[in-house]
Chain A
Amino acid sequence: MGATGSKLEKALGDQFPEGERYFGLENFGNTCYCNSVLQLSSESTLIFVVLGFGRRIETVIPWFDALYFCVPFREQLLDYYSNSKSIGDAEENLLTCLADLFTQISSQKKKTGVIAPKRFVQRLKKQNEIFRSYMHQDAHEFLNFLLNELVDILEKEAHAIKSDAESSSPSEKISNGPKTGQANGAQKEPLVTWVHKNFQGLLTNETRCLRCETVTARDETFLDLSLDIEQNSSITSCLKNFSSTETLNAEDKFFCDKCCSLQEAQKRMKIKKPPHILVIHLKRFKYIEQLGRYKKLLYRVVFPLELKLSNTMEDADSEYSLFAVVVHVGSGPNHGHYVSLVKSHNHWLFFDDENVEMIDESVVQTFFGSAQEYSSNTDHGYILFYESIGTGNKS
């Protein structure tokens, strides 16, 4: 703890942000349950990797630093925790354990150091059952799982409070009913938690029947965008492909309600409501049918420090700023390690388990990937975190 911590403190000097804490996570011995869970596997059963090879396989919680330095999320989580504490001992769950870990770090006397996320990891262990349904775990699915868990917990709590207050009111979740094909605003708004407020965006899936020209729009919410990637491309280009028009024909025709038959159609995805925190997942792990297994795509995919979504339906183009990158280190999907790059108070930091270092902004570029198929460079940006810096024009 001392050595690296003080090194970082020295590097930052009097620029060390007031009240900020930079703590690495201890990757503690045999209890690396998470590590095994994070294993990407093509098998249908979870493989528990025994760390007996003298080699650390995975990071404790790969996206932890990205979430911790997502300031609005952190503040709301800390708020939530201090409020729920005052109410009384709530039941322990993943949310309280994560909040507890955040609180532990933010209330440290020392500015830098290492902390062991024991409670959180133990909680994960207890939730073994849920985890079992999440095979093929990797950092992205793990994050997605966690965010959905947090949402569930918050919704349950809100529901409990509500049903206490007006016991006769029907549950909102149930009243939503099945989604209808036509998008209309008449539906009752679903419960919006602070997790939603941070991460949730709205996609609309427009399908135009080529016979009757009727446009069918279906809205879906998302907590992150998973993008297909191409060699030597940019995130901008991947987003464009994501929203590009796709023709449904041959085997893949569309059932038009108006024509009452299968018809050729054009389909496209648009972002109806961009999220405050835009999480972009690069599909670097691809199932290759000929090989019968997953392969890691080492492609060079550049991501800018600022980004705009132009495929939105809103008037102004909302602008985002990159604040965290989860990096997968390794040449294949079945082994490797995660590190993360985080921007905090205009400094970029490099988190590798218990180590935290300061890096120059330009170092981010070394995690774009490899322009050639065979490369010794195996460190690739995998999950990108952008925060909205408002619409319109900032100078």
Chain B
Amino acid sequence: MKMMNNGYNSSFNSNSVGLMSNTGATTASSSSSTSTTNANSQSQGLKTYFKTPEGRYKLHYEKTHPPGFLPFSHGKSVSQVTLAQLKDKPAQAGPAPSSSSSASASSGVRYAAAKFLGVGGGNGVRAIGFAGGNGTGKAVNGTSRSGSLVGSNGSHSILNPNYDGKGTYLIFNVGDTIFIGDLNSPDKDPIKSLHFSNSNPICHAFDPEAKDGHDLLIGLNSGDVYSVSLRQQLQDVGKKLVGAQHYNKEGSVNNSRCTSIAWIPKSDGAFVVAHADGNLYVYEKSKDASVDTSFPVIKDQTQFSVAHARSSKSNPIARWHICQGSINNVAFSTDGVYLATVGRDGYLRVFDYLKDQLISGGKSYYGALLCCTWSGDGKYILTGGEDDLVTVWSMEDRKVVAWGEGHNSWVSGVAFDSYWSSPTSDDTEENVVYRFGSVGQDTQLLLWDLSMDEIVVPLRRCPPGGSPTFSTGSQSAHWDSITPLGTLQPAPCMRDVPKLSPVVAHRVHTEPLSGLLFTQESILTACREGHVKIWMRPSSETQSSNSEALVGSSSLAGSRVGSSTLK
């Protein structure tokens, strides 16, 4: 197969010399200015802001892997980004404070980091420079290198003395490495890297409410799954996972690629892992990771089936066979009741997770679906895929209610902006406006406003031979338009679905995009090659209190440096 691995090796060597001086990061300001200049030279023709009806979003920080990093030892993989917020409590202590539990109920990815922004931006920087030097440079000392990958129980001798135990972190995978960056630091380089020697990490998830410290999940190309404590990784200076639980070792339960991983909300440490062969496994981190469960052979590959483990002690506790071909993405509704999956076969499937039951779903216009997400109120699901469309699925109607047209290539990431509020602010029950975003392989970020009362649903043509109002069956007429529970809808026709146009379309990277997150202060975009950009919301929009005022001013300083080098 000489064709497949044609060299990806040359492109990252070029400015490794520049990197060395950069990694030193003696002061935060100098480091920020150099990284900004690098960014400008790399991404020519890209604007550092974009305009929306509510104001300008400005490029605030960029995060990426160290320039000298050669990410392709096991071939290429697509970068995904996860946001993780660590609270004040040290790792070994009990449950995390539930100060903002209602906000954090949304999946860890979208967690608001508002409260702690100031802290990381201020003190964190110098400490981070130190850790970054270790993580990216060559000087890994012997002790940490010999630390075993699995279950070393934190027996490492060197702790990072400057690590202050709280902050908001960006976790992203590039090639065989997971990088962790500080969201609120201007430093472009990550503060920590975790190297995987056997297989590439593909997906990850963070649980801000994890009780026993294991809050970070990592799924690998080999099918292996780890759960670790993020705090513990940050405290350690090595490049290996410490204190990890290892599930599906060497793919003993399923050796196909992990494609998507998610904590189950309000489940006390249960999570699901989706695989490229159409199976999804349920694990509980409290259960023994070393005993693998065996499941019966799947009789009909085309049928959905759930098998529960016979033993209550072992992991995984259940296998869901969902579809033929890969599951590409999964997402839980914020209450943890519903699970949405999308896959190679082009179907969105919505399950009642607690009842092991398929309740609805439908096909893309054509081609595979690549991503999905829930609205905060659980009423809508967004999907994106190979038909270049963003699809809005209504839970109530059990069908597609709108298609967003605007991408020039596949849609790889979708997210609702739960922090956005309509400027008209008469959000009555009937007139709710949702803001959502999408990113695509066309390198564009698109923002959309979805106002349900403005969507005109094309009239359904009456089926031949009968008036819909007088159906002879026992079912009442208003159910006629809704498909029965548990059935999948075929692909709609182009002219039957209302279309949306984006509010904003902006080319944010030079590479195809892979991820999108909203925080209270910013929009995060990630590209496949592992570059992350943080776009600050319009300043008028920031509900700044005392603590955020600090961040605001420092961010201003940062962007001033950036713009002066531009002009």
State whether B409 touches A350 (Cβ < 8 A): no
> Is A305's beta carbon under 8 Å from chain B?
yes
Q: Does B69 contact A (CB under 8 A)?
A: no
Q: Is B3 in contact with A339, judged by CB distance below 8 angstroms?
A: yes
Interface string of A291-319 (1 = CB under 8 A from B): 00000000010101111101000001101
| In-complex Cβ contact of A393 among B3, B326, B490, B494 (8 A) | B490
Task: Apart from A234-B408, A308-B494, list 15 A-B contacts with CB within 8 A.
Answer: A230-B408, A232-B409, A232-B442, A233-B409, A305-B386, A306-B346, A306-B366, A308-B366, A317-B493, A319-B491, A352-B3, A366-B3, A372-B510, A379-B3, A395-B488
CB distance from A92 to the nearest CB of B (A): 36
Q: How large is the interface on B (under 10, 10 to 19, 20 to 34, 35 or more residues)?
A: 35 or more
List, in ascending order, chain A residues with CB within 8 A of B407's CB. 237
CA distance A319 to B410 in the complex (A): 18
In the complex, the chain A residue whose C-beta lies closest to that of B387 is: A236
Nearest-neighbor residue (CB-CB) of A327 within chain B: B3
Q: A350 and B3 in contact (CB under 8 A), knowing A237-B442, A304-B367?
A: yes
Number of A-B contacts (CB under 8 A): 101
Given the known interface contacts A350-B3, A393-B490, the answer about A232 and B512 at a Cβ–Cβ threshold of 8 Å is yes
Q: Mark A85-121, 1 if CB is under 8 A from B, else 0.
A: 0000000000000000000000000000000000000
Q: How far is the CA of A305 from the CA of B367 in the complex (A)?
A: 6
Please, what's the 1-or-0 string for A26-52, where 1 marks a CB less than 8 Å from any CB in chain B? 000000000000000000000000000
| B49 interface contact, C-beta 8 A | no
C-alpha spacing A361/B343, complex, angstroms: 14
A371 pairs with B8, CB closer than 8 A: no
Contact of A319 with B441 in the complex, beta carbons under 8 Å: no
- Contact present for B491 and A393 (CB under 8 Å): yes
Q: Write the residues of chain A forming the contact surface with B, with a CB cutoff of 8 angstroms.
A: 230, 232-234, 236-237, 300, 302, 304-308, 310, 316-317, 319, 329, 339, 350, 352, 357, 359, 361-363, 366, 371-372, 374-379, 393-395
Q: List 9 A-B pairs, minimum CB-CB distance, nearest first.
A: A393-B490, A304-B367, A304-B386, A237-B408, A234-B409, A306-B366, A308-B366, A376-B7, A310-B494
Give the residue among B3, B7, B325, B326 with the most A Cβ atoms within 10 A. Answer: B3
0 or 1 for each of B197-222: is its CB under 8 Å from A? (1 = yes): 00000000000000000000000000
User: When each residue 370-409 of chain B gets 1 if its CB lies under 8 Å from chain A and 0 otherwise, what string results?
Assistant: 0000000000000000111000000000000000000111
> What separation, in Å, do the CA atoms of A331 and B184 have in the docked complex?
42
Contact B366 A319 (CB under 8 A): yes
Contact B512 A300, beta carbon cutoff 8 Å: yes
Chain A minimum-CB-distance residue to B510:
A372
Contact B510 A371 (CB under 8 A): yes
A232-B512, A304-B368 as given contacts; A377 in contact with B6, CB under 8 Å: yes
Alpha-carbon gap, A265 to B67, bound state (A):
52
Question: Which of B276, B325, B387, B408 is close to A304, meaning CB atoms less than 8 Å apart?
Answer: B387
Indicate if B365 sits at the interface (CB-CB under 8 A).
yes
Check if B6 sits within 8 Å of A357, measured CB to CB: no
Q: Say yes or no: A371-B408 contact (C-beta < 8 A), given A304-B387, A395-B490.
A: no
Q: Which residues of the other chain, A, contact B529 by a CB distance below 8 angstroms?
A: 371
Name 16 A/B residue pairs within 8 A (Cβ), A-sorted.
A236-B387, A304-B368, A306-B367, A306-B386, A307-B366, A308-B365, A319-B491, A339-B3, A352-B3, A371-B443, A371-B529, A372-B510, A376-B7, A376-B9, A395-B488, A395-B490
Q: Which residues of B contact A363 (CB under 8 A)?
A: 4
Least CB distance from A174 to B in Å reads 41
**Would A304 and B7 be within 8 Å (CB), given that A232-B442, A234-B388, A234-B409 are in contact?**
no
Kindly provide the distance from the CB of B37 to the nearest chain A CB, expressed in whole angstroms.
20
B366 and A375 contact, CB distance less than 8 A:
no
The proximity string for B residues 490-517 relative to A, scoring 1 for CB distances below 8 Å and 0 otherwise, is 1101100000000000000011100000
Task: List A contacts of B388 (CB < 8 A).
Answer: 234, 236-237
B363 within 8 A of A: yes
B10: chain A residues within 8 A (beta carbon): 376
Given known pairs A307-B367, A371-B511, A393-B491, the reply for A366 and B409 (CB within 8 Å) is no
Minimum CB distance partner of A373 in chain B? B510
B11 at the interface (CB under 8 A from A): yes
**Does A302 contact B365, Cβ atoms closer than 8 Å?**
no
Give the CA-CA distance A24 to B114 in the complex, in Å.
Answer: 62
Please report the C-alpha to C-alpha distance between residue A376 and residue B443 in the assembled complex, in whole angstroms: 21
Partner of A234, one of B8, B363, B441, B490: B441
Complex CA distance for A308 and B493, rounded to whole angstroms: 10
A357 near B494: Cβ-Cβ < 8 Å = no
Across the interface, B493 reaches (CB within 8 A) one of A304, A316, A361, A371, namely A316
The CB with the most chain B CB atoms within 10 A, among A237, A329, A378, is that of A237
Tell me whether B6 and A376 are in contact (CB under 8 A). Answer: yes
Residues in A with CB closer than 8 Å to B462 are none
Partner of A366 from the list B4, B387, B493, B511 (CB cut-off 8 Å) is B4
| CA–CA, A69 and B7, complex, Å | 30
CA distance A6 to B388 in the complex (A): 41
* Structural contact, A232 and B4, CB atoms closer than 8 A: no
Residues of B409-449 whose CB lies within 8 A of A: 409-410, 441-443
Complex Cα distance, B441 from A319, in Å, reads: 23
Which residues of the partner chain A approach B325 to less than 8 Å between Cβ atoms? 361
Within the complex, the shortest CB–CB distance from A357 to chain B, in Å, comes to 7
B482 CB-CB contact with A under 8 Å? no
B1 in contact (CB, < 8 A): yes
Q: Give chain B residues whose Cβ lies under 8 Å from the Cβ of A362.
A: 276, 326
Cα A139 to Cα B410 in complex, Å, equals 27
Q: Within the complex, what minimum Cβ distance (angstroms) separates A11 from chain B?
A: 12
B17 to chain A, nearest CB (A): 20
Q: Which one of B1, B8, B346, B442 has the highest number of Cβ atoms from chain A below 10 Å of its Cβ? A: B442
Q: Are A378 and B4 in contact (CB under 8 A)?
A: no
CB neighbours of B363 from chain A (8 A):
393, 395
